[in-house]
Amino acid sequence: MAWMDVVALAHECRNARELGARILEGFRAEIGLDVGFVIGADVSTHALGDDHAFRATTNAAYERELSPLKATALASRGVATDTEVFGRSRFSMRWFRDLAAPVGGKHTLVAYTRARGAVTGLVMLGRCSDAPFSHADVARVEASLPAISLAAAAFGASPKPVSLAPLSLADRLFSRARDGELTVRDRGPHREMLANELVWTRASRADAARSGWPYIDLLALGGVLARDRRRALVIGCGGGVLVHLLERLFPAMQLEVVERDPRVAALARRYFALRAPVRVADGARVVAEASPRSWDAIFVDAYDACADAPAIDATHLFTHAARVLTPGGAVAFNVIGDLAGDAVLEVTTAALASFDDVRVVPVVDPGEAMAPHARRNVVVLAR
């Protein structure tokens, strides 16, 4: 099922229920299924009743049994099969005896649609034959998920903004005791991560995709400028605000997040609701070792607050970025300094050496008089 096919279905269908039914029909024709359901803004079934789908997703006992299947799916690209996760032990599980066996089911595939880092829907496909779902079947379903998520969003299957619950005293003590110079605090409407008492990242407690700093929004322009938006690399995790924002703006884009400090990634997951997997590694090395045309966009937000300097070599990064980006790919690089200073000049010079189209966008607060020597966030965009 091609990407444009699913989006076209959303325009042809009158409601979410009809869209789900058409998606199931597409999967039946393409990979084969005997039973199935789709749950998003509404529920759609094939050879099952609506009650069957609701029982499968609302029973706490089933949920506990199926939790390894869900975890396996979400840890990869959203798809897993009970045959591979459970093997023959699935036959003795309560959910299998209650739900699959009565309709003759022998093999089950589950797939989760996601947007903005949150699960928005579930696809369950079942087979009654002895033939399990193949790796090729799984790959076809994986390839369809971003488009299904996008199409379903037109009918309301879209997650609400992620809010951050207030920190407890135990949370504050935990973050300070565990991470030394890295701490987390709530201050007014924002949650902040601090390094040696210097605010390193700031997120709105009402919406984790909104930052207290506008440069985050400017970084997202890298996705706007990119010709394609299928895969992107984010270097520098922070509180995950940029990741939340990219997931919201580009729900079909697969994000790879790299952070060199495992403590930062742990704090982002625990206190900033970051759900995207984070690879602990050096971002420059990841780019240098990547295959050609690995990503459509690269976002760099790697500033070392302790050293008061960029945590990544701009010349090294831009040289390799030109090779690992797809044609029309873009880089968005955050740097802190004044427009006439060495830091901004270094990044801009590195970008111009490898890219044809380079823009330097300083962050200016409303009402502020533009001062070239004032220290500020500056976003360098290269395409």
pLDDT digits 0-9 by tens, 12-55: 888 888 999 999 999 999 999 999 999 887 889 999 887 788 77
Do both 128 and 176 map to the same domain?
no
Do both 142 and 199 map to the same domain?
no
Do both 116 and 210 map to the same domain?
no
pLDDT at 117: 66
pLDDT at 174: 66
Do both 215 and 90 map to the same domain?
no
Q: Given 153, 186, 208, which residue is the final one in a domain?
A: 153
The CATH number covering residue 267 comes to 3.40.50.150
Do both 186 and 284 map to the same domain?
yes
Do both 95 and 178 map to the same domain?
no
Tokens 């984070």 map to which residue?
A: 278
Q: Which domain holds residue 297?
A: 169-382
Q: Given 153, 178, 211, which residue is the final one in a domain?
A: 153
Do both 143 and 236 map to the same domain?
no
Look up the pTM and report it: 0.63
pLDDT at 345: 93
In a domain, 302, yes or no: yes
Spell out, as residue ranges, where the chain has pLDDT lower than 50.
Answer: 4, 177, 306-308
Q: How many domains does the chain have?
A: 2
